[in-house]
């Protein structure tokens, strides 16, 4: 298997972490499965032989993929990954004059570049026997995003052989028919507890594509800092850690575009009302009082004006149909203990708990009015399940057993049980990440369909640019295989 | 100051580590020197004003530098670093139509791309006042390598302003006249204890250029693994950790070329005879016996044939005039305790210590015959100073006080006192790295000249790809300023 990757060595680090660390874990922990190929996550169906083919460093792109900007860019990227040992000085050319594989033919049935939840990511990949002398590896897919997944798999079939100094495909011929088990395969990044530069975020997005993850859940803002520019309320990013630890609107566009080029959606989060203390740095009236800063002041129209302004500005940036509204860990003491808010509660005959419900539902209406489906952390479902909008996606985190309850009531659900899928829990070994099952306790096919998938969460309190990748990988790759590969393949028998 | 850097985000990580970690250390540890600019290492001489200039994202290269491939590539690289917040979507173009700085004029007096020890790295950098409306920043240098140092300084003057969304030069006008204090400013990497992929090595080389370090000392081989391809003795890299953890000849060329493009020499090391156990994996007769594997068998001609073959092959790759022959930590017990070697010692009337001297001097002759100046770790000097070839460079490591002795005897010296400049000593704080002085105890100007400079050493036992950069920086930057900036500037008074 290939250990390291691309000539543009931005990816080298992530790819090294991804492949070596995990391969080492596997080789130490599991009996040798010589029958399993080194493809991660394991494809849905595959057959292979025992031939070795050489791949031409001048590998060219054929098929109708060349008319897709996304696929042209991806082909160039993956050619760089496969031919890391490029022949810049012409030494290698003297070693060999003909190759078994000279063309990668990619055919897609649709050139639409609309990327949404549930987009068809299936693909087929065929490497014929050397005897047939076709010289062509073929990827077929319904969409450009399926073809991207096929390209990743192709890159994992290719290995640099240090003896012949040739890139080789081992175990040919190959026939792979692949598709993901879940539509939502996420990684959460938290840029409030520690700021991450956009280049570090891009590096993480690139590494997600190696594991075929397809949603970046961007927990942009929290009580510690407000790094995002919001043109409608330009003082909000005064809540950033410094005037350099910020994301411009253009930076955010760049993250979304960079993700899309890799078939990854970006789900933004604005966590209200419990995690909003940083909002008040720019607009102090959003705090119940300067000494009691969150939850956001439920009593003021201004609070919802600002929320609406943020979502309006963000709607232009984030085209994904899901938007995360948080709703977790709401301690209402600041509302009860601040006379002005407390008066408002009394006047409106609301208990603090009812005011929490009022805030969450009002936020949901704002998101829905902007054609977003709201996602909320599970406390909202645990507290007032009957009141949540039916389009709500319940995001599990507190423990097991929540998705079964949510789907039984007809809600969609995302699995992120903190005991196994919170990456800041450093004591959780990869085996426990791997064996966590999003459909645990859900038997009915109709209810299983409501589980969109799952997400590993990289909370930012204890990681920064220097160690975030090392904390994400290799364990995120364990969850990625759980979410992509068939349940049979990922369950020990 | 700029915290993060380039659009090609390979460098982001290193640059983030380099600038933020160190800036934070400084701001916590030192009183505020508002009179000092944020340029690291501090230039030899500079003046500045209090104006702010805007820099055109379409900044163009003028002057005669465009005829140098090294400078054209460097200009593109640094433009990427400065304009990380590039205007890919055209939003920013609407904000401003004219800029104060539209051209970077680089003039070099020589276009020679010969990079050797002592190459002229001086440069001048001028940013005129906005009133003068020249629109030009000027770098003048005697060599392309001086111009590279000027480009690094230029990039450090540029800051992205999040409010105006413009790259700015603060404190203009600037006049900087700069040159290094020492000719040799090194970082040692050890790829034997942990293999580092070439992409990781390139990332480190790139980060060295931010600190104006100019020698990569590549400790390629040691007793733990032999990752390098040696065409003359093709079994040697059987001593690599795995068949993937290897460097081809082409990889090594690539490292040398990548370094040269950044004005960095590569000094390779073959550490004989004490650290050669891995050689015998491919050629067991290099071991005194299979149960006693090092020092390399001094009694066989084959040992010196292999050494000569290695150096012949490496000479084609490494053009730098210095070559490191190791010579440290030689425990001769294996020679005394192996009957065949012991017989040879008796026959030749050599004590084990004399055989150590015999081996080192024979290795020096091989290197000298290939027009290399030999570098040896200090044990060789400590043991038989009178016998070393006068061209020998003594590489200090065991403690303070060695360079004064070496230069007193007319040898050149490199300072790497392990108590302060061994980066694997994690308990050494940056202040102690910073205050280490290579000329300590050397008064005569003629002897001071023999101190080529110094080197921080990143031994590989406890670091791998996942943390090597984090261990190198920010402390290597402390040594880098010590080696570049004037002694007055780097000494507290």
User: Could you report the per-residue pLDDT of B315-364, keeping only the tens digit for each?
Assistant: 999 999 999 999 999 999 999 999 999 999 999 999 999 999 999 999 99
Helix (H) or strand (E) holding B448: helix B445-448
Residue B381's pLDDT band (boundaries 50, 70, 90)? very high
pLDDT at A98: 87
CA dist B441 and B407 (Å) reads 11
- Contact yes or no for B136/B99 (Cβ under 8 A): no
Question: B430 φ, ψ to 5°?
Answer: -60, -30
At residue A198, does pLDDT exceed 70? Answer: yes
Residues 6+ away with beta carbon under 8 Å from A30: none
User: Which of B4, B73, B262, B471 is best to mutate for the A interface (most A CBs within 10 A)?
Assistant: B4
The first and second tokens of residue A391, run together, are 């389009």
Q: Which of A55, A251, A69, A243 is nearest to A165 (CA)?
A: A55
pLDDT tens per residue across span B454-491: 999 999 999 999 999 999 999 999 999 999 999 988 88
Q: What share of chain B is helix, strand, coil (3-state, %, to 5)?
A: 35, 20, 45
How large is the average pLDDT for residues A216-237? Answer: 98
CATH superfamily of A45-178: Chitobiase/beta-hexosaminidase domain 2-like (3.30.379.10)
Degrees, nearest 5: CA angle A307-A311-A315: 175
Per-residue model confidence (pLDDT) at position B84 = 86
Structure tokens at B16: 């983030």
Confirm if B394 and B376 have CB atoms less than 8 A apart: yes
Q: Please give the structure tokens belonging to residue B481.
A: 């300023």
Q: Contact at 8 Å (CB) between A425 and A419?
A: yes
Residues in chain A with CB shorter than 8 Å from the CB of B87 are 250
Contact (CB, 8 A) for A40 and A152: no
d(CA B16, nearest CA chain A) in Å: 8
Contacts of B89 in chain A (CB under 8 A): 250, 253-254
What 3-state DSSP class applies to B56? strand
pLDDT at position B3: 31
The span from the CA of B149 to the CA of B183, in Å, is 13
End-to-end CA distance of chain A: 26
Task: Give residue limits of the domains in chain B.
Answer: 45-177, 184-484
From the list B75, B79, B43, B51, the residue with the least C-alpha distance to B62 is B75
Q: Which residue has the tokens 């026997």?
A: A129
Return the pLDDT at B255. Answer: 97
Residues of B in contact with A95 (CB under 8 A): none
Helix (H), strand (E) at residue B204: helix B198-210
Question: For chain A, what is the HEC assignment?
Answer: CCCCCCCCCHHHHHHHHHHHHHHHHHHHHCCCCCCCCCCCCCCCEEEEEEEEEEEEEEEEEECHHHHCHHHHHHHHHHHHHHCCCCCCCCCHHHHCCCCCEEEEEEEECCCCCCCCCCCCCCEEEEECCHHHCCCEEEEEECCHHHHHHHHHHHHHHEEEECCCCEEEEEEEEEEEEECCCCCEEEEEEECCCCCCCHHHHHHHHHHHHHCCCCEEEEECCCCCCCCECCCCCCCHHHHCCCCCCCECHHHHHHHHHHHHCCCCEEEEECCCCCCCCCHHHHCHHHCCECCECCCCCCCCHHHHHHHHHHHHHHHCCCCCCEEECCCCCCCCHHHHHCHHHHHHHHHCCCCHHHHHHHHHHHHHHHHHHCCCEEEEEHHHHHHCCCCCCCCCEEECCCCCCHHHHHHHCCCEEEECCHHHHECCCCCCCHHHHHHCCCCCCCCCHHHHCCEEEEEEEECCCCCCCCCHHHHHCCHHHHHHHHHHCCCCCCCCC
Does A162 contact B470 at a Cβ distance shorter than 8 Å? no
Tokens linked to B154 = 């230029």
Identify the H or E element spanning B412. Answer: strand B412-415
Dihedral of CA atoms B202, B207, B210, B216 in degrees, nearest 10, equals -60
Q: Which chain A residue shows the shortest CA-CA distance from B206?
A: A9
Neighbouring C-beta atoms of residue A284, cutoff 10 Å: 12
Q: How confident is the model at residue A222 (pLDDT cuts 50, 70, 90)?
A: very high
Question: Do residues A157 and A146 lie in contact, with contact meaning Cβ atoms separated by under 8 Å?
Answer: no
Contact B197 A250 (CB under 8 A): no
Cβ–Cβ below 8 Å for A162 and B197: no
What does the angle CA B287 – CA B227 – CA A1 come to, to the nearest 5 degrees? 125
Helix/strand/coil (H/E/C) assignment for every residue in B77-135: HHHHHHCCCCCCCCCHHHHCCCCCEEEEEEEECCCCCCCCCCCCCCEEEEECCHHHCCC
Query: Nearest CB to A12: which of B16, B87, B197?
Result: B197
Identify which of A208, A207, A315, A212 has the alpha carbon closest to the alpha carbon of residue A268: A315
Stretch A210-224: mean pLDDT: 98
Q: Pick from A20, A200, A250: which is nearest to B13 by CB?
A: A200
Q: How far apart are CA A385 and CA A77, in angstroms?
A: 46
Query: Residue B175 forms beta bridges with which residues?
Result: B47, B126
Residue B5 has pLDDT above 90, yes or no: no
Give the sign of the dihedral formed by CA A362, CA A367, CA A373, CA A378: negative
User: For the segment A370-413, what is each residue's pLDDT rounded down to a tens digit?
Assistant: 999 999 999 999 999 999 999 999 999 999 999 999 999 999 99
The yes-or-no verdict on residue B24 having pLDDT over 80 is no
State which residue of chain B sits closest to A163, comparing Cα positions: B243
Most B CBs within 10 A among A466, A469, A470, hence the mutation to make, goes to A466
Find the CB nearest B244 among A3, A229, A249.
A3
What's residue B19's pLDDT? 58
Inter-chain contacts counted by CB atoms under 8 A, chains A and B: 134
Is a pLDDT exceeding 70 seen at residue A23? no
Q: What is the dihedral of CA A131, A132, A136, A141, to 10 degrees?
A: -120
What is the torsion angle, in degrees rounded to the nearest 10, for the CA atoms of residue B275, residue B280, residue B286 and residue B292?
70
Structure tokens at B109: 């007096």
CB-based contact A162 B199, cutoff 8 Å = no
Give the tokens for residue B424: 């694997």
pLDDT band at A422 (very low <50, low <70, confident <90, very high): very high
Query: DSSP 3-state assignment of B234?
Result: coil
Between CA B406 and CA B54 the distance in angstroms is 51
**Mean pLDDT, chain A, whole residue set:** 92
In total, chain B counts a number of residues equal to 493
**In the prediction, which pLDDT does B87 show?**
65
Looking at the partner chain, which of B9, B203, B254 has a beta carbon nearest the beta carbon of A199? B9
Prediction ipTM score: 0.90
A99, with CB counted inside 10 A (0-12, 13-18, 19+), is middle
Other beta carbons within 10 angstroms of residue B368's beta carbon come to: 15
Identified catalytic residue from B254, B329, B432, B440: B329
Q: Are A108 and A146 in contact (CB under 8 A)?
A: yes
Question: What is this structure's pTM?
Answer: 0.92
Q: Copy the structure tokens of residue A414.
A: 């995302």
- Across the interface, do B13 and A465 touch by the CB < 8 Å criterion? yes
* A89 has a pLDDT exceeding 90: no
pLDDT score of A441: 97
CA B204 to mean position of chain CA atoms: 9
User: Is B200 close to A84, i.e. CB distance below 8 A?
Assistant: no
Q: Is the pLDDT of residue A30 over 60?
A: no
Closest residue, chain A, to B165 (C-alpha) = A248
Task: Verify whether residue B329 is a known catalytic residue.
Answer: yes
Contact check, Cβ <8 Å, B199/A6: yes
Higher pLDDT, B462 or B16: B462
Q: How many Å lie between the alpha carbon of B20 and the closest alpha carbon of chain A?
A: 10
Residue A6 has pLDDT above 60, yes or no: no
B36: pLDDT strictly greater than 80: no
Indicate yes or no: CB of A465 within 8 angstroms of CB of B17. Answer: yes
Whether B467 sits inside 8 A of A470 (CB atoms) is yes
Helices and strands (H, E) in chain B, number of each type = 18, 14
CATH of domain B45-177: 3.30.379.10
All residues at 6 or more sequence positions from A236 whose CB lies less than 8 Å from its CB, including other chains? A226, A228, A229, A230, A279, A282, A283, A306, A310
| CATH fold label, B184-484 | TIM Barrel (3.20.20)
Q: Give me the sign of the Cα torsion angle B79, B82, B87, B88.
A: positive
């Amino acid at each position: 298997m290939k250990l390291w990757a691309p000539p543009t060595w931005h990816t080298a680090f992530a790819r090294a972490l991804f492949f070596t660390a995990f391969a080492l874990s596997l080789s130490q922990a599991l009996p040798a499965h010589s029958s399993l190929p080194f493809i991660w996550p394991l494809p849905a169906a595959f057959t292979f032989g025992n031939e070795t083919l050489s791949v031409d460093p001048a590998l060219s792109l054929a098929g109708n993929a060349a008319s897709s900007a996304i696929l042209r860019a991806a082909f160039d990227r993956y050619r760089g990954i496969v031919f890391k040992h490029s022949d810049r000085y012409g030494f290698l050319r003297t070693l060999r004059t003909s190759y078994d594989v000279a063309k990668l033919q990619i055919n897609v049935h649709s050139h639409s570049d609309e990327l949404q939840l549930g987009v068809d990511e299936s693909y087929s990949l065929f490497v014929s026997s050397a005897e047939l002398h076709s010289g062509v590896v073929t990827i077929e897919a319904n969409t450009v995003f399926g073809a991207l997944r096929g390209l990743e798999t192709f890159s994992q079939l290719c290995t640099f052989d240090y003896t012949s100094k040739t890139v080789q495909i081992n175990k040919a011929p190959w026939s792979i028919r692949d598709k993901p088990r879940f539509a939502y395969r996420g990684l959460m990044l938290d840029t409030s507890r520690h700021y991450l530069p956009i280049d570090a975020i891009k590096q993480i997005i690139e590494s997600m594509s190696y594991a075929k993850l397809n949603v970046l859940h961007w927990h942009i803002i929290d009580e510690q800092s407000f790094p995002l520019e919001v043109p409608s309320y330009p003082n909000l990013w005064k809540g950033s850690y410094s005037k350099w630890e910020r994301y411009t609107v253009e930076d955010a566009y760049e993250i979304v575009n960079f993700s899309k080029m890799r078939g990854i959606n970006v789900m933004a989060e604005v966590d209200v009302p419990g995690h909003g203390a940083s909002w008040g740095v720019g607009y102090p009236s959003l705090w119940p009082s300067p000494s009691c800063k969150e939850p956001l002041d439920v009593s003021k129209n201004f609070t919802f004006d600002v929320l609406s302004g943020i979502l309006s500005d963000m709607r232009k940036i984030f085209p994904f149909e899901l938007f995360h509204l948080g709703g977790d860990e709401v301690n209402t003491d600041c509302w009860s203990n601040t006379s002005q808010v407390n008066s408002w509660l009394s006047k409106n005959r609301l208990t603090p708990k009812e005011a929490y419900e009022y805030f969450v539902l009002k936020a949901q209406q704002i998101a829905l009015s902007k054609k977003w489906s709201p996602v909320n952390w599970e406390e909202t479902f645990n507290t007032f399940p009957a009141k949540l909008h039916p389009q709500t996606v319940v995001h599990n985190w507190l423990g097991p057993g929540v998705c079964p309850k949510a789907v039984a009531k007809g809600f969609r659900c995302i699995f992120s049980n903190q005991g196994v899928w919170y990456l800041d829990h450093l004591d959780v070994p990869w085996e426990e990440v791997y064996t966590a099952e999003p459909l645990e306790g859900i038997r009915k096919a109709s209810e299983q369909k409501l589980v969109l998938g799952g997400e590993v969460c990289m909370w930012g309190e204890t990681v920064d640019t220097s160690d975030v990748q090392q904390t994400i990988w290799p364990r995120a790759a364990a969850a990625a295989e759980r979410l992509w590969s068939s349940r049979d393949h990922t369950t020990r028998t």
